Structure 1
């Protein structure tokens, strides 16, 4: 499988530093065969303006000490919009190392960053991003940009142009979109089933299948159209047999 495209942002008020990071990234991309789209910013204000507009990055390399708003304050704001992006702080001081954990930083790297340090950081961050992308969805919800792990999804319901995602922890997320498109995205995952035009369910969370409805483990009832019972039951049994689960 080809590597996924990853989006990276560099934010540093020193142009020389961002150019060095760009050169290291170009060298890394060529060495690892990884595709990147990168953007450089010279102030946290520029970066935040993009994030607030809905631009999503997989990785942000962020200088801590900059004129005006420092990188740590910018990271706190970024977390209000995006809880998933990997933030790597770059700094010449260890002063903010402990504080960096409060914004769920991926790493705190002292400057000047050496090639081997950059490659090591990128190997780790890229592997995590790729792993997450393959088993998750990115949603633009009212609370910002959210990465939804597929194993957490119990079922999704569509009403008009709004997709409502019900998670196994009771959280409900809303995002604009079409259920047809979501089904296309998840076609390679055998645990997802569309028993009704308005519902997509995760068969891992089925509690009961009756003639006219499916009851999920959280108590939600998904309607079954007339004539769909046998097909749905067979699909579910095939799935659990493939999973080598016992049927009594």
Structure 2
């Protein structure tokens, strides 16, 4: 796990690192990176850095924490952002960058532990992939992948935009072939329906005698639907491995 702490007060950074180290004392794979300004943190992103959690001070000189977070989100990152602030008035602005929580300075240890507990319970179990895309490194969660498409020497991975059902997706372009992803995806709800496509069946909500339906409107869906509809193996196993669920479907192992 990689954590970034960005705060212009060195004493505060050291205290926070000490508290986090205590929480993760039995965690063998923990790396904590310190930054004294938003510029330093963003430079690390330019160099290809990837973090799981970013603790970010709001009130810093030059570029503040909110503006830093907005730029971080432009990197197509899924990092968990926890803001550090002396003033809760900034809380509303945090929704713009999908911040997880605000911790008020001086940090209350119980609230810090509660935040880390929440992250551990709700995020650590989500499987993710580290992608070396043509735009740089990016972490994506398997649950967010809608489908993968092979085009020549590249795989295009399409992930959903959070809270968006209108067809907006993110595209990640990786120089690999589909079979390179099969091992990473084998325990999840993915199905290779064609030599050029792997589809997340969790986004397929139903099929009947006329069509296959997705629970999200996606670009290029008509071609994928046709492939699935003509795939006899998919049609035969769909009802066995998928159970209906409000708003979509989930996988069930037999």
TM class, shorter-length: 0.7 to 0.9
- CA drift of 1:49 comes to 0.8
Contact conserved, 1:186 with 1:192, CA < 8 A, in 2? yes
Equivalent in the alignment of 1:194: 192
Tell me, in whole angstroms, the C-alpha distance in 1 between the residues paired with 2:85 and 2:159.
38
How many Å separate the matches in 2 of 1:107 and 1:244?
34
Instruction: Work out the CA distance in 2 between the residues paired with 1:184 and 1:216.
Output: 27
Pick closer, same or farther for the CA change 1:150–1:107 going to 2, 3 Å.
closer
Equivalent pair of 2:77/2:139 in contact (CA under 8 Å): yes
Equivalent residue for 1:165, pick from 157, 164, 175: 157
**Deviation (angstroms), 1:182:** 1.5
Q: Mark the CA change 1:21 to 1:35 in structure 2 (over 3 Å): closer, same or farther.
A: same
Alignment of 1:135-154 (within 5 A): 136-137=128-129, 139=131, 140=133, 145=138, 147=140, 150=143, 153=146
TM-score (norm 2): 0.73
Number of aligned residues: 225
Alignment partner of 1:68: what SS?
A: coil
Q: Distance in 1 between matches of 2:144 and 2:38?
A: 35
| Per-residue Cα deviation, 1:130-164 (whole angstroms, up to 9, x for no partner) | 24x32x555547598473553651x3211133222
Alignment correspondent of 1:220: 223
Q: TM-score, normalised by structure 1?
A: 0.75
Deviation at 1:110, TM superposition (A): 0.9
Does the residue aligned with 1:156 lie in a helix, a strand or coil? strand
Cα distance between partner residues in 1 of 2:192 and 2:68: 41
Distance 1:86 1:147, change over 3 A: same
* Alignment-derived partner of residue 10 in structure 2: 15
Q: List aligned pairs for 1:35-184, cutoff 5 A.
A: 35-131=29-125, 133-134=126-127, 136-137=128-129, 139=131, 140=133, 145=138, 147=140, 150=143, 153=146, 155-166=147-158, 169-171=166-168, 173-178=171-176, 179-184=178-183
Distance in structure 1 (CA, Å) of the matches to 2:157 and 2:90: 37
- CA gap of 1:150–1:95, structure 2 versus 1, over 3 A, is closer
Indicate the RMSD between aligned Cα atoms, in angstroms.
Answer: 3.3
Cα separation, 1, equivalents of 2:208 and 2:89: 56
Aligned pair in 2 of structure 1 residues 198, 109: CA closer, same or farther (>3 Å)?
Answer: same
Cα deviation 1:98-147 (Å, max 9, x = unaligned): 3222222211111111322211111112323224x32x555547598473
Equivalent-residue separation in structure 1 for 2:101 and 2:129 (angstroms): 24
Change (3 A) 1:12 1:62: same
Paired position in structure 2 for 1:3: none
Kindly provide the CA deviation profile for residues 211-242 of structure 1, in whole angstroms up to 9, marking residues without a partner as x: xxx97753215898xxxx8xx63465234224
> In 2, distance between residues paired with 1:167 and 1:90?
30
Larger Rg computed on CA atoms: 1
